[in-house]
Amino acid sequence: MVMLCGCVLMASAQVEDRDRSKYAVNNFADDDKYTMFQPYETVTVEEPKGRKVKNIIFMIGDGMGLEQISAAWVSNGGKLNLDNFSKTGLQRTYSANKLVTDSAAAGTALATGHKTNNGMISMTPDAEIVKSLAEEAMEKGKRTGAAVTCRVNDATPSVFFSHSISRNSQEDIAAQMAESGVYFLSGGGEKYWTKRKDGRDLTAEIQKKGYSFASTKDELMAVEQGPVVALMAEKDLKPALDRGDLLPASVTKALQLLDNKNGFFLMIEGSMIDDGGHDNKAGHTMEEIFDFDRTLGIVLEWAEKDGETLVIVTADHATGGMTLLGGSIQKQKIEVNFSTKGHNGIVLPVFAWGPHSEDFVGFYENTELSDRIRALIK
């Protein structure tokens, strides 16, 4: 059992803010308007007919509700890679102690099948450790991985590889992730691994265990075999327009390294969709969704060739209270309204593609979504 540190911190403590992106200083003339000048082409894939689930890819758009998806579809000229999904469901998101969840509680529900209080990481409200989907997969002999655009020890990736009473226990969470057995890990957050109050250098420790360590995209792309940890920023990665194809490239490398005869579990997070919603910036929100959707296209084409991969796409919560008020599909233009700078409590879409995708149709709790995925980890 993983030993927990810093448990005296209160789960309700203030959550550390992410770095503000360039979109937060009004680079877009009107924050409630956005035009996509270069729509991207989407892929068309054929769903496999087989029933075996060897690999599971779980994609989470942080803050990505139906309203954000609708706006992105219009902005890209009426097309997204999400259009390939014919099996859809709806999940409820409330936490154990709040109607409106945060990413820690929602992530815990998705990762473990248990509701918890806002701020807690893969523990029940009474601080009982609960097993995540990734931990279940490792016990079954599968490789596991996560590719995100935030720091790797932020709430959503943390729930799959650590346990804590508080999401703010950043250094403790990083230490648990370093000892978790994860096979592929990419994102930001190097300072929590190398500039620690306890003096430990977690990157040196994992290299002694046989891991490769990458601090840049080029270094990650050069890795020929896992396990690997790539921490490509001090804290969170740059926003989508600045980081380029870093997420799609990282996921491409993850698929290469994770693929094996026993299968794998991979979580991919579009982490900064949430930032655009918090900042009420339509342009930031859309560019982050496009990056996530482009990555989804790579995943779907890989899964089509593999034939034994289940792909699930959902969110932890929606952010910003966005309403699509106007625009044009032909002009790739949207006009929106934001009602809040926080999260909201609406139900979220679940998209499923691949073997057993029909298992995810319906209306259910976010915990049940986790349970349905767990049932297919064999």
Query: Can you give the pLDDT at residue 17?
Result: 43
Do residues 233 and 188 make contact, with C-beta atoms less than 8 angstroms apart? Answer: yes
Mean pLDDT over 272-279 rounds to 96
Digit-coded pLDDT (tens) for 224-263: 999 999 999 999 999 999 999 999 999 999 999 999 999 9
Q: Which helix (H) or strand (E) holds 205?
A: helix 202-208
- Residue-wise pLDDT for 279-331, tens only, equals 999 999 999 999 999 999 999 999 999 999 999 999 999 999 999 999 999 99
Instruction: For residue 309, give Cα distances in angstroms to 133, 235, 292.
Output: 16, 32, 19
Looking at residue 30, what is its pLDDT?
A: 77
Pair 65, 285: CB distance under 8 Å: no
Spacing of C-alpha 175 from chain mean position: 20
Average pLDDT of the chain, as a whole number: 93
Phi and psi angles of residue 352, each rounded to the nearest 5 degrees, phi first = -130, 140
256 belongs to a structural domain = yes
Higher-pLDDT residue of 13, 343: 343
Return left, alpha or beta for 305; rule: phi > 0 is left, psi -120 to 50 is alpha, else beta. Answer: alpha
User: pLDDT at residue 12 above 70?
Assistant: no
9 assigned to some structural domain: no
Q: Which residues contact 132 (CB under 8 A, 6 or more apart)?
A: 111, 112, 122, 159, 160, 161
> How many domains, the chain?
1
Asked whether residue 271 is assigned to any structural domain, the reply reads: yes
Band (70; pLDDT cuts 50, 70, 90): very high
Interval 16-42 mean pLDDT = 67
Q: Is 357 considered catalytic here?
A: no
Residue 165 lies in a domain: yes
Omega prior to 227 cis, within 30 of 0: yes
Looking at residue 23, its pLDDT comes to 43
For residue 294, the Cα-to-chain-centroid distance in whole angstroms is 14
d(CA 92, CA 305): 33
User: The domain that contains 169 carries what CATH number?
Assistant: 3.40.720.10
The confidence score (pLDDT) of residue 29 equals: 53
Q: Is residue 36 part of a domain?
A: no
Mean pLDDT for the stretch of residues 270-276: 97
Residue 146, in any domain of the structure: yes
Check: CB of residue 183 under 8 Å from CB of residue 145: yes
Q: Which two tokens stand for residue 338?
A: 């934001």
Q: Is there a domain that residue 46 lies in?
A: no
The encoded tokens of residue 66 equal 């139906």
Residue 143 belongs to domain spanning: 54-338+354-374
Tokens of residue 316, six digits: 């932890």
Q: State the catalytic residue, choosing from 75, 103, 122, 158.
A: 103
pLDDT digits (tens, 9 = 90+) for 171-215: 999 999 999 999 999 999 999 999 999 999 999 999 999 999 999
Q: With respect to residue 30, please indicate whether it lies within any of the assigned structural domains.
A: no
Does the pLDDT at position 15 exceed 60? no
Cα separation values, 318 from 41, 69, 139, 199, Å: 26, 10, 32, 38
Task: Give the closest residue to 208 by CA, choosing from 229, 189, 188.
Answer: 229
Task: List Cβ neighbours of 195 (8 Å cut-off, separation of 6 or more).
Answer: none
Average pLDDT over residues 11-34: 52
